[in-house]
Amino acid sequence: MNAHEIDFEIKGEEMQFVEIELDPQEAVVAEPGSFMYMDSAIKMETIFGDGTGAKSSFFDKVLTAGKRVLTGERLFLTVFTAEGTGKSKIAFASPYPGRIIPMDLSEMNGKIICQKDAFLCAAKGVSIGIEFQKRLGTGFFGGEGFIMQKLEGDGLAFVHAGGTITRRTLTAGEKLKVDTGCIVAFTHTIDYDIEFVGGIKNTLFGGEGLFYATLTGPGDVWIQSLPFSRLAGRVLAAAPQIGGKHKGEGSILGGLGNLLDGDNRF
């Protein structure tokens, strides 16, 4: 194997984290901001590049980092290396409620395509890059699926998604229609495209967007029940107005609460 072999345990329910056990000189690559805790024998290093540790020119490293910026990710990756004489542990936490999914790339022909904010961490040697959807229509209307991340190599990678995760295996030619935000990841043998919902009533009043993502087999697809964009939209819709005080919103006592607090606005 080119990637480091690591052991892991996923802990928790709604807010999960993955604890990784490293042998001496083994390393794991992670997105900045996902770190939770580590043993004292582990050294942290911030790097340019794709996480493989392969030698490349400075220009190639800058180009790789620039591509990461296109996906909305940070310019750098962080490498954590065990430098002690025994086993060391390190943990990475999920950013919002959902599930962490381990992906063994050696069992998936060496490549997985995932949502641009799904990657959490991976064994050193796994390449973290970007994947552009090639069809022009997908680029204009594909929404969250236009620019995606690709994870390549033969090691373990961990992706995170919201809510409950389901895995579908599609046979050759089998097609699955999915909300573009609900796609977590799929194997590189899956054909990704978009399809217009169709119908005037569906378009104007359906409330599900104008386009589906269509995924055609053969291959595996991972789907999430709660995309972060949907969660954020619901939170913003339920949040009080900026500068306003809403006590008992939606109840008959709401205005009375404001009056007793010295706010006479109903």
What CATH number corresponds to the domain at position 40? 3.60.160.10
Residue 133 has pLDDT above 80, yes or no: no
Is 69 within a domain? Answer: yes
Is 247 within a domain? Answer: no
Do 228 and 174 form a contact (C-beta atoms < 8 A)? Answer: no
Q: What's the sign of the alpha-carbon dihedral 237, 97, 187, 221?
A: negative
Q: Which of 19-28, 78-87, 188-197 has the lowest mean pLDDT?
A: 188-197
Instruction: Specify the DSSP element, H or E, that contains 151.
Output: strand 147-152
Is 78 within a domain? Answer: yes
pLDDT in tens, 34-87: 899 999 999 999 886 666 655 555 555 555 555 555 555 566 789 999 998 999
Is 39 within a domain? Answer: yes
pTM metric for this prediction: 0.76
Give the pLDDT score at 236. 73
Q: What percent of the chain is predicted at pLDDT more than 70?
A: 66
Closest CA to 183 of 147, 154, 152: 147
Show the domain range for 108.
7-226
Give the pLDDT score at 218. 96
In this structure, what token pair is assigned to residue 57? Answer: 């020119």
Is 138 within a domain? Answer: yes
Is 12 within a domain? Answer: yes
pLDDT in tens, 146-163: 578 889 999 999 999 988
Work out how many domains the chain is built from and give that number: 1
Is 143 within a domain? Answer: yes
Is 166 within a domain? Answer: yes
Residue 207 has pLDDT above 60, yes or no: no
DSSP assignment, residue 1?
Answer: -
